[in-house]
Structure 1
Amino acid sequence: MRLVLQLVARLFLIVVLCLGAATIWATFDAYRSVDRATAASAQRVAQALQALYWHEFLLRSSRTREQLLPVPEWRTLETMKLISPGVCVEFQPAIAFEKPLCGQSEGLGKTPPRWFASIVPTFLGSHAEVIRPVSPRAATAGTVVATPDETAAISLAWEYILNVIDVALLMAAAIALLASLAIAHALAPARTIVTALQRMARGQYRTKLPRFRSMELAMIGSAVGELGGRLEEATEQRAALTRRLIEIRDDERCALARELHDEFGQNLSAILAFANTIETASTKGDKHNDVAQDARMISQATHHLMASLRDALKRLRNPLPAELGLEASLVNLVDSWRSQSSARPTIQLDLKGDLTDISGPAAITAYRVAQECLTNALRHGAAREISLSVERRAGDDDALLIRVDDDGGGDAARVKQSAGFGLTGIRERVAAAGGSFSILPARGGLSVAATIPLAA
């Protein structure tokens, strides 16, 4: 899951939790606001009746008369204005058949659902009536009793919650949208960092990143840049070491070739000469002499050893590109394999592009790759047709592509895991040249490809 979506999901969860907490608080506050309105109504009506009481008391000039109120009539429009909606007020002691004076409750709030009307009183409790004396100094003046209407209180709470939820939802949507845009903008440089890492994975280690405003992203960008520099240095050092090892190995191979030619070649020639002499001397008297037959067998074995030695010397000595050039050496390589036996598979050579100016390590590496791939296809497979393609890709991506396809039915996975000296040497040479090497399954066999950059 993308990081932006994860952060937005977490933000959405936080918003939902805050919205739930706001709803609970709004429910409690709206439900208990009726208690505050009841107390305020009782207090206002008690103060109004207290003024009426002392006015009537002074007019009558008597301290012994009881039950002065409700005289004059206190159930007036002015008193009605002092009572909050959903609250009923009555005066005690009340006269017979007197009904409480209630504030307007019809149409007050929206009708709540049944589950809300049953849940809220269960958890928040019921409302208590509020009693206020008309006059603290005259206990006989009576009291004011304010009682809240339960149905009106729940309706008010429900309407208040709906209003709060509407505003909270709008705010939550706006916060989620703006925060998502802010998060996406803040994480946008992560794509640049990922792209840089992908280029580094392809070998482009010197990848310059822009300067980021965020301190954390700037630290990551700096670390990526340092990592790329170190990887490039390590790759250059490894390539230089590999080239040096290849040079040493080539020198050792040349020295070994000279030793084989000087020592084994001369000794084999001497053995062949002695065998011919023995055979000639033995056949003078008796053509069916056993010694002559042994001498002929020695000659045949010597010829076989000399042929093997010549093949080994061809592989050990300096490749032909150093002398003939890449194109001519590839033609010579294919012709030498074709001329060895008529029963060998068909070898097709396809050269594309200008190969005349390719020399030095690139030409030697290309020749060695083609030589080893042809040798493996001819010796270790049952191919009937082999194709050697060498193409030079000009332009900005100046590189040499060598590809060998055969129909010998080899297993690409097993060949990849092979630890033979031939394939290992090819991989080392191509890596030292800064190129790439791959072994893939082809139609009926294997496809071995190597890319050698020429700019380096």
Structure 2
Amino acid sequence: MRLVLQLVARLFVVVILCLGAATVWATIDAHRSVDRATAASAERVSLALEALYWRELLLRSNRTREQLLPVPEWRTIETMGLISPGICVRFEPAGAFEKPLCGQSKGIGQSPPRWFAALVQTLLGDHAAVVRSISMRAANAGSVSAAADPNAAIALAWQHILDNIHVALLMAVAIALLASLAIAHTLAPAQQIVAALQRMARGQYSTSLPRFRSMELAMIGRAVSDLGDRLARAMEERAALTRRLLEIRSDERRALARELHDEFGQNLTAILAFANTIEATSAQEKDNSEVAQDARMISQATHRIMACLRDTLNRLRHPPAEELGLEACLVDLVDSWRSRNAAQPMIQLDLKGDLAGVRGAVAATAYRVAQECLTNSLRHSSARVIVLRIERRTGAENALLVHVEDDGGGDAAKVARSPGFGLTGIRERVAALGGSLSIADANRGVSVAATIPLAA
């Protein structure tokens, strides 16, 4: 999952939690607001009735206080205007059949769900009644008792929650969207860092990144750039070391070829001459026919050893592709294999592009890759058709492609893991020139492809 989506998802979780906390707070505040409205209604009505009580008492001084109770004409429209919606006020002592005077409760809010009413009733309980004396100086002047209508209180709380939640929800959505855009904009440079790492994985180690505003991303960018520079230097040093090792190995191979040619070649020639002499001498004598036959067998064995020695010398000597050209050497290589394997497999040579200008280390490496792959296909598989394709690609790629494919079965993964010196050698040669070697399964066999940059 992408980091931006993870951060946005976590942000939405935080927003939902905050929205839930806001809902709980709004519920508690609505419950308390009903209690505050109840107390305020009782206070306002008690003050109004106190003024009415003393006015009646002064205007009608011949009356006793007991005759003023209940306070006359207190159930008026003015008194109702002092009572908050959903609050009912009762005068104590109440008259006969006197009902509480309630504030307007119609249209104060939507009917709440039953679960909400039950939840508020369970968690927050009922609203307590508020009692206020009409006069502190006259204790027998009566009192005002205000209580909240349960249904109206629940409806007011639900409406209060809806009003607050709508605003909170809009703010939460706005915050989530703006924060998501800010997170996406902040993490946008991460795509450039990932692209730089992908280029480094493809071998483009020297990659530069722009300076990022974020300190953390800037540190990561500098670390990636430094890593690329170090990898580039390490690869250059490794390539130089590999080229030096290949030169040393080539010198050793040439020295070994000279020793084999000078020592073994002369000795084998002498053995062959002695065997021919023994065979010719023994053939003249009738009793020495077995000696002549043994000498003939020695000659045949010597010829086989000399043929094997010639093949070994051809592999040890520096490939002629550096001097004679790649195309002529490849044709000669394929013809030599065809002459030794007249029946099968059939070797197809496909040359594409201008190979005349390909010389030096590139030509030698391409020749070695083709030679090694043909040798492995002929010796270690039952291939009937082997295709050797050499292609020179120009333009931005500017590379030489060597592709060998056979139909002899085989497992590409097993071949790639082979510890043999042949594949290891051509892999080192190709890597020393900055190229790449891949081994994959073909339709009915194994495919080996090497890409060698011509700039090498």
**TM norm structure 2:** 0.96
SS at match of 1:289: helix
Deviation of residue 205 (structure 1)? 0.7
Name the structure 1 match of 2:185: 185
Deviation of residue 5 (structure 1)? 1.4
Supply the AA of the counterpart residue of 1:178. Answer: L
Deviation of residue 288 (structure 1)? 5.2
Supply the AA of the counterpart residue of 1:330. Answer: L
> Residues 9 and 341 from structure 1, CA distance in 2 versus in 1: closer, same or farther, beyond 3 angstroms?
closer
Name the structure 2 match of 1:408: 408
Cα RMSD (Å): 1.7
CA contact 1:67–1:140 (8 Å) conserved in 2: no
Deviation per residue, 1:236-269 (Å, 9 max, x gap): 1111111111110000000000000011101111
Name the structure 1 match of 2:353: 353
Name the structure 1 match of 2:423: 423
> Residues 444 and 102 from structure 1, CA distance in 2 versus in 1: closer, same or farther, beyond 3 angstroms?
closer
Deviation of residue 58 (structure 1)? 3.1
Supply the AA of the counterpart residue of 1:294. Answer: D
> Residues 432 and 53 from structure 1, CA distance in 2 versus in 1: closer, same or farther, beyond 3 angstroms?
same
CA distance in 2, matches of 1:125, 1:18: 25
Of 284-293 and 138-147, more deviation after overlay is shown by 284-293
CA distance in 2, matches of 1:387, 1:119: 82
Name the structure 2 match of 1:200: 200
Name the structure 2 match of 1:14: 14
CA contact 1:246–1:429 (8 Å) conserved in 2: yes
Q: Does 1:291 align with 2:324?
A: no
Name the structure 2 match of 1:52: 52
CA distance in 1, matches of 2:52, 2:411: 111
CA contact 2:326–2:358 (8 Å) conserved in 1: yes
Q: Does 1:162 align with 2:177?
A: no
Name the structure 1 match of 2:88: 88
Deviation per residue, 1:306-359 (Å, 9 max, x gap): 111111000001111122111111111112222234234222211111111111
Supply the AA of the counterpart residue of 1:180. Answer: S
Of 49-58 and 228-237, more deviation after overlay is shown by 49-58
Map 1:32-431; keep pairs closer than 5 Å.
32-61=32-61, 65-286=65-286, 289-431=289-431
Deviation of residue 70 (structure 1)? 3.8
CA contact 1:67–1:141 (8 Å) conserved in 2: no
Deviation of residue 210 (structure 1)? 1.8
CA distance in 2, matches of 1:352, 1:225: 39
Deviation of residue 71 (structure 1)? 4.6
Using the aligned pairs only, state the percent identity: 73
Name the structure 2 match of 1:454: 454
CA contact 1:389–1:403 (8 Å) conserved in 2: yes
Deviation of residue 125 (structure 1)? 0.5
- In the comparison of the two structures, how many residue pairs are matched? 456
SS at match of 1:131: strand
Q: Unpaired runs of 5+ in structure 2?
A: none
CA contact 1:439–1:449 (8 Å) conserved in 2: yes
CA distance in 2, matches of 1:270, 1:74: 147
CA distance in 2, matches of 1:148, 1:264: 120
CA distance in 1, matches of 2:80, 2:454: 100
Supply the AA of the counterpart residue of 2:12. Answer: F
Q: Unpaired runs of 5+ in structure 1?
A: none
Supply the AA of the counterpart residue of 1:190. Answer: A
**TM norm structure 1:** 0.96
CA distance in 2, matches of 1:423, 1:204: 25
Deviation of residue 287 (structure 1)? 7.1
Supply the AA of the counterpart residue of 1:105. Answer: S
